[in-house]
Amino acid sequence: MSETKSFNAKDLSEIEKLTAKYPEKQAAVLPVLWYAQDKFGHVDPSVQKLVAQTMDLPEALIYGVVTFYTQFYEKPMGKHVLDVCTCLSCQICGGYDILHYLEEKLGIKAGETTPDGKFSIQSVECLGACAYAPMLQVTNDKYVNHLTREKVDQLIEDLKAGKQPGFESNKMPQHENGSD
């Protein structure tokens, strides 16, 4: 039986502040879902229902938003969620090779979480960084670009050690030879 989820008075106050920033409640769905995911770690059906009731919006609308965006987790996930882009640009540049390497390295398949709860892997659609393919995103935050097996190995070791990936500056092809 699933645990009943609820927002406390502080949560409701924060949600009220979020919704006040928008002309209509529906426009605040994304930030409220982010808030809920931060609180509960995911937005499973019980959290989706809670958000819908809190915002007085149809559950189908909330479900549609959650299932459209890969950044929302419909189930508990690992501490580090590795979203591997497998869209066309990343596919051509080895996105599936990176995905399969991660699966082999962590001993899980896409959509699964390691037994210790540290890592989840997802195959996702375009993350909007096609020029840096193959690439992945770490827990809805940092992008890791131009992936190789060695770069993946270093990323996993860094994450295990509590070190987040840093910002990667990538020059556009027209700037690589120093021309502007």
- The model's pLDDT over 82-95, given as tens digits with 9 standing for 90+, comes to 999 999 999 999 99
The arrangement of strands across the sheet holding 80-85 comes to 119-124, 80-85, 136-138, 142-144
Q: Which domains does the chain have, with CATH numbers?
A: 9-68 (1.10.10), 80-160 (3.40.30.10)
pLDDT of residue 21: 96
The tens digit of pLDDT for each residue in 128-154 reads 888 899 999 999 889 999 999 999 999
pLDDT per residue over 91-115, tens digit each?
A: 999 999 999 999 999 999 999 999 9
d(CA 151, CA 161): 15
pLDDT given at position 4: 83
Contact 78, 60 (CB under 8 A): no
Mean of the pLDDT values across residues 36-55?
96
pLDDT of res. 70: 85
pLDDT score of 49 more than 90: yes
- Pull the structure tokens for residue 123: 């195959």
What's residue 165's pLDDT?
A: 86
Single-letter residue type at 114:
T
Question: Is the separation of the CB atoms in 145 and 135 below 8 Å?
Answer: yes
pTM over 0.85: no
Pick 164 or 9 by higher pLDDT: 9
